[in-house]
Amino acid sequence: MRQAPAGCVRWRPRWAELGDEGRYGRHTPIPLRLAIACAPTRAPAPSQGGSDQVATVVVNKTVDEAGLRALLEPRDEVAAEKRLNETTFGLESGPFDHYERTVAISRRDDGTYDVEETTDFQMAIPVWRGLFTPLLKRSIKHPPKTDRPPWWSPPDRLDARAARTLSYLGVFSAITGYLGTLLSQTNTYFRKDFGASVADITPMLTGVRLAGLLAFATMALADRRGRKWVLLVATYAAIVLTSTGALAPNLLGLGISQTASRGFSAAIGIVIAIIAVEEMPAGSRAFAVSVLTMSAALGAGGVVLFLGLADLTPWAWRVFYAVPLLMLPAVVALGRRLPESRRFEVYEMRELLSRASVSGEGIGAGLTGLDGTDSRAEPGTGSAIAVDDGPGRSMRTHIGRLVLLGSVGFLTFLFLVPSGQYLNDFLRTGQGYSGVQITLFQVLTTLPAGVAIVAGGRLADVFGRRIIGSIGVGGGALFTVLMFTGNGWAIWLWSTVGTILAALAVPALAVYGPELFPTKIRGLANGTINVLQVIGAVAGILLVGRFADAVGYGQPLALLGLGPLVVVAIILIFYPETAHKRLEDINPEDEPPPESLDDLVEMEHELDELEHEVGPLHGHEHGHEHGGEHGAPIPSDGSSAEAESSEPGSAGPGAEAGTIDRHR
């Protein structure tokens, strides 16, 4: 019999004597062994120093027997817990590198219990961990009444790999947000520096937008070379090319440099959304897009926040174009850690198996499909997998969806882009604002939109995409037109309401592009949609720029505002509802990725072996490393990647660099 240490007591819950078989122990009889309750004598949580330190939350309370019973149940909130013993719970699933909850109990003379609940955790959210750790601490101290996740977490729980990937993508999104807003935020300043009119800069703005056609070719490579490869190449190219704008001698030179960079920055935004949708669970795709949109807004805010500096001297706007060079070290570090999309890896696996079957290569009987069957045969048939017919046939099969999303993109950008492109000039020339006043206007009227973006993602995942998207598009366009036709304090009100409503639509509608197309053409299809959006943006800029000097911005934008009204009708009548559906249910030709992280790692090992035997897909070696760069942080103490935690059920610091945790 276990002996209680000094200062501890043995206790046996009264319901244990009754053999209760409720939820405790997942419908198994409650163990009759005596649990030991004592004052806290547990070892401190392991510390890795810096941002990798394990957080600890201690909650002391006095509860009755019912309350104690509830505390000894596995929880299912941000973390899905599993029972390690009577009073200790580990991680079943959730966005954590380490998680453990222990309950120490002392019985009082009045029949109640003094409880000390200690939770050690480390969230799998590099870079942004400092923002979420305090929120989780508060949720632990004040747990929700139900098992529903707190407001700040996704509706559908992420695993550690998905959370880590989303965190890395957030940094790339902030970078593209900065790059994408530079031209619209600084055009009134370089126009003044170069002595140009609105009509003079309109062709340059148009040419830069047409660079989105370059994104089409880049995204076609994403279906061949992989999402990660395209993301990194596009990011490096966009940063370097943007920085050359700081040395532009005239309007033509600036236009050439930014035309080249804009194509790559557009590709960054598209491939980020694709990776996020391919990594996230079905109930959290819109939430993920809302988080990435917030990150992009943070990057754009880096321009807006310091825009007042552009008033210091006519050439000060050039500094903003040189700043992206400071982002290069972060891109190098992230490139070593970001994993390839799991669904693209499944696509690679299927394509390589098809190649092996057709070529007769001996891969070995040990390789099995994702469902455990012979991966070189169609499930249930025993026949070889057919050779892929290529992206052309798939595009023709999905032409209806392409037309649907392309028309919505054209009409939306026809209004959206010129309203953002000329906003600063409207404020400076039409309202007489200085650079500081423009900054205040931009910050104060768009700040509430940050909350709306997150709310829109959650609402779209819970209640559906169509209704939230329709409200956002229609309402946002209406109040934006009111802003451009108003004066004085009213434009602050209309701008605030318009940005809040428009923000709701962003995550609700942005997920449709990646969702409605299969993996092998997802990049190409979204690149095509981007081309149609670019055409709409260019048409809008030309129309507004043509009449702005003569009649102002209000009338042209009011005319273009009819486009979003047509978009609302298209969404409500023709758009399918994709909330809560797996990508493989929306696109039956795709094969789902393994559900468990362990199976995913095993599949990646098989993929490495296939690439070794038959050559990499499309002549490019992806390198599915299983030990230092594929998604998990590198141990700060320099320990071996093969180190494993000796604590059962723990994903502690020693284990996070191991093979299994590498791909969480």
Taking the C-alpha atoms of residue 339 and residue 61, their distance in angstroms, rounded to an integer, is: 42
pLDDT of residue 154: 87
Phi-psi sector, 307: left (phi>0), alpha (psi -120 to 50), beta = alpha
Better-predicted residue by pLDDT, 332 or 633: 332
pLDDT of residue 228: 94
Torsion angles phi and psi, residue 592, rounded to 5: -70, 150
Taking the C-alpha atoms of residue 365 and residue 422, their distance in angstroms, rounded to an integer, is: 62
Encoding tokens for residue 53? Answer: 């330190």
pTM value is 0.75
Tens digits of residue pLDDT in 243-298: 998 888 888 888 888 888 888 998 999 999 999 999 999 889 999 999 998 899 88
Taking the C-alpha atoms of residue 329 and residue 339, their distance in angstroms, rounded to an integer, is: 18
Task: Give the mean model confidence (pLDDT) for residues 396-419.
Answer: 90
* CB distance 24 to 32 below 8 Å: no
- In the chain, the largest separation of any two C-alpha atoms, in whole Å, equals 92
Taking the C-alpha atoms of residue 357 and residue 137, their distance in angstroms, rounded to an integer, is: 52
> At which residue do the structure tokens 């804009």 appear?
262
Count CB neighbours of 590 within 10 A. Answer: 21
- HSE toward the beta carbon, residue 105, CA cutoff 13 A: 24
Which residue type occupies 513? G
DSSP state of 663: G
Tens digits of residue pLDDT in 345-359: 888 887 777 766 655
DSSP state of 428: I
Taking the C-alpha atoms of residue 141 and residue 624, their distance in angstroms, rounded to an integer, is: 40
Residue 215 confidence class, pLDDT cut points 50, 70, 90: confident
**Rg, C-alpha atoms of the chain:** 28
* CB distance 614 to 361 below 8 Å: yes
Residues 6+ apart with CB under 8 A from 148: 77
Which stretch of 221-230, 330-339, 418-427, 579-588 has the lowest confidence by average pLDDT? 418-427
* CB distance 529 to 406 below 8 Å: yes
Taking the C-alpha atoms of residue 296 and residue 300, their distance in angstroms, rounded to an integer, is: 6
Tens digits of residue pLDDT in 47-72: 333 345 799 999 999 999 998 998 99
Taking the C-alpha atoms of residue 609 and residue 629, their distance in angstroms, rounded to an integer, is: 19
Q: Rounded to an integer, what is the distance from CA 479 to the centroid of its chain? A: 28
Taking the C-alpha atoms of residue 531 and residue 209, their distance in angstroms, rounded to an integer, is: 10
Least Cα distance to 465 among 586, 581, 578 occurs for 578
Residue 523 confidence class, pLDDT cut points 50, 70, 90: very high
List 117's β-bridge partners, or say none: 59, 103
Tens digits of residue pLDDT in 411-460: 999 999 889 888 888 888 888 888 788 888 988 888 888 888 888 888 88
List 107's β-bridge partners, or say none: 113
Tens digits of residue pLDDT in 607-629: 667 666 666 655 555 545 443 33
Q: Indicate the pairing of strand 35-37 with strand 9-11.
A: antiparallel
Encoding tokens for residue 170? Answer: 């957030």
* CB distance 660 to 632 below 8 Å: no
Residue 44 confidence class, pLDDT cut points 50, 70, 90: very low
Which stretch of 175-189, 574-588, 609-623 has the lowest confidence by average pLDDT? 609-623
Which residue type occupies 564? P
Task: Give the mean model confidence (pLDDT) for residues 95-109.
Answer: 93
> At which residue do the structure tokens 């996740």 appear?
149
